């Protein structure tokens, strides 16, 4: 007797004939965890409903964008009102000004900001500006940090590249990456060695202040401030990729949380409230070099799109100090309770957290860099992922990704998540060290 396939399975089979891997972003294909990706029909708060009617507690959150929860009433209302006035004009709108005001008011190092359409575009543009401002070409990035899929930074990237086991990407010319230097996250000595050899050629150091694309890896004490000192001494710029951490780990992002001010910052995710968006910003002097004020060219047909501006503005206006306090408390509770469940089950694993971002690594010690993250037992994570899915919790489908909490994850949801963790740990092959 043939078992009927689910609607998600049917759609995935159809999609594979129409799109590479059946998806529009690689990690969604479940390659590292196995099984069939769930095709989502709707979402509300922190709950997803798939096309088969199954409901899941969501810790993907559109990869961090949905800090207010799915279909938050304030965000929906703002988008609906904007939609009725028109979706795109190709000319300035008041919403762009208002969102820029919010960003500048919250982020200590940003005096001017330019809206773009994705985090990838934001980083690409910031790197161009850094090179123009310094007259240098080389960029230092960190193994395991992912900054978008454009050519010059697809070197030892994390996220989906690590998930799929691809160190680079075909189609990226050697000439494109010859100016990209790679150091180890949380290792200032590796950075200093590069500057000792090539310091006068380095335009910028680009870093996720909290790594999120090799799983959540906090900066070690003195790491970010050390990068600040090195770049100031050498005349290079420090660029924080806060596409993930911006307005997620604190009101002013990771730079406010750790008290280190970069020269340029890139944003995405939260500032669009789930609608495609990106931005980059810095001092008035640096940003004055962007056209039309300056000669560094960057443009975009849909930059400052009214729907994205409205959704982002409504989201940011929900995020006050009390919001972050509540997110911190529930995220801390989730981490500490998972730690306790792991100890009770005698399972060797660590949970790493910054703010409302966390990752569970099946390993015996803390993860400080990409080689540590790669050492973790990703087969065990895949097994854990499938068990959690069966118990109604949808985690990011890779051990190299961050879980995200939202304002909609209340105490009852956290308790249900912990019960799913308990059942998954005791009922799966991840049991035992």
Segment 273-292 shows an average pLDDT of 97
Is position 241 annotated as part of the catalytic site?
A: yes
Is position 269 annotated as part of the catalytic site?
A: yes
**pLDDT-derived band of residue 208, with 50, 70 and 90 as boundaries?**
very high
- Which domains can be identified in the chain, with CATH numbers? 7-60+321-426 (3.90.1150.10), 73-316 (3.40.640.10)
**pLDDT-derived band of residue 154, with 50, 70 and 90 as boundaries?**
low
**pLDDT-derived band of residue 201, with 50, 70 and 90 as boundaries?**
very high
The catalytically annotated residue of 269, 324, 330, 400 is 269
pLDDT in tens, 348-371: 999 999 999 999 999 999 999 999
The catalytically annotated residue of 241, 263, 372, 383 is 241
Distance (Å, whole) CA 231 – CA 235: 6
Distance (Å, whole) CA 215 – CA 241: 15
The DSSP letter of residue 91 is S
pLDDT in tens, 39-74: 999 999 999 999 999 999 999 999 999 999 999 999
In sequence order, what are the residues at sequence separation of 6 or more whose Cβ sits closer than 8 angstroms to the Cβ of residue 40?
Answer: 48, 49, 50, 51
- 182 touches 205 (CB < 8 A): no
The DSSP letter of residue 239 is E
- 355 touches 248 (CB < 8 A): yes
Is position 146 annotated as part of the catalytic site?
A: yes
Distance (Å, whole) CA 66 – CA 309: 15
pLDDT at 402: 97
Q: Which residue has the higher pLDDT, 345 or 428?
A: 345
Q: What is the pTM of this model?
A: 0.93
pLDDT at 170: 66
Distance (Å, whole) CA 216 – CA 222: 18
Q: Which residue has the higher pLDDT, 389 or 161?
A: 389
The catalytically annotated residue of 112, 138, 141, 146 is 146
* Mean pLDDT over the full length of the chain: 93
For residue 428, is pLDDT > 80?
no
Helix (H) or strand (E) holding 264: strand 264-268
């Amino acid at each position: 007797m043939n078992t009927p396939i689910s609607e998600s399975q049917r759609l995935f089979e159809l999609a594979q004939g129409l799109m590479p891997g059946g998806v529009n972003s690689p990690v969604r294909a479940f390659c590292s965890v196995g099984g069939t990706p769930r095709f989502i029909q709707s979402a509300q708060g922190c709950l997803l409903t798939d096309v088969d009617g199954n409901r899941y507690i969501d810790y993907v959150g559109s990869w961090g964008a949905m800090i207010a929860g799915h279909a938050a009433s304030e965000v929906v209302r703002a988008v609906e009102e904007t939609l009725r006035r028109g979706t795109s004009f190709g000319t300035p709108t008041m919403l762009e000004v208002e969102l820029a005001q919010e960003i500048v008011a919250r982020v200590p190092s940003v005096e001017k900001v330019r809206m773009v359409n994705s985090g990838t575009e934001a980083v690409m543009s910031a790197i161009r500006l850094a090179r123009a401002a310094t007259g240098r070409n080389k960029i230092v990035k960190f193994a395991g940090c992912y900054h978008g899929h454009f050519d010059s930074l697809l070197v030892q990237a994390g996220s989906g590249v690590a998930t799929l086991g691809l160190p680079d990407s075909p189609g990226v010319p050697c000439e494109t990456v010859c100016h990209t230097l790679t150091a180890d996250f949380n290792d200032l000595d590796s950075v200093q060695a590069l500057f000792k050899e090539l310091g006068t050629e380095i335009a910028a150091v680009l870093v996720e202040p909290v790594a999120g694309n090799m799983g959540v890896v906090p900066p070690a004490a003195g790491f970010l401030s050390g990068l600040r000192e090195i770049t100031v001494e050498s005349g290079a710029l420090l660029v924080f990729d806060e596409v993930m951490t911006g307005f997620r780990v604190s009101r002013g992002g990771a730079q406010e949380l750790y008290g280190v001010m970069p020269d340029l910052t890139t944003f995405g995710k939260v500032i669009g409230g789930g609608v495609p968006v990106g931005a980059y910003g810095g001092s008035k002097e640096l940003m004055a070099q962007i056209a039309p004020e300056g000669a560094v060219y960057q443009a975009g047909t849909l930059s400052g799109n009214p729907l994205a501006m409205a959704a982002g503005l409504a989201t940011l206006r929900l995020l006050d100090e009390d919001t972050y306090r509540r997110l911190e408390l529930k995220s801390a509770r989730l981490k500490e309770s998972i730690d306790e469940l792991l100890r009770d089950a005698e399972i060797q694993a660590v949970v790493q957290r910054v703010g409302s971002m966390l990752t569970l690594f099946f390993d015996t010690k803390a993860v400080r860099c990409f080689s540590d993250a790669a050492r973790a037992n990703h087969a065990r994570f895949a097994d854990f992922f499938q068990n959690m899915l069966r118990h109604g919790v949808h985690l990011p489908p890779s051990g190299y990704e961050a879980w995200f909490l939202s304002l909609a994850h209340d105490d009852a949801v956290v308790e249900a998540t912990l019960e799913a963790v308990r059942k998954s740990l005791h009922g799966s092959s991840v049991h035992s060290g």
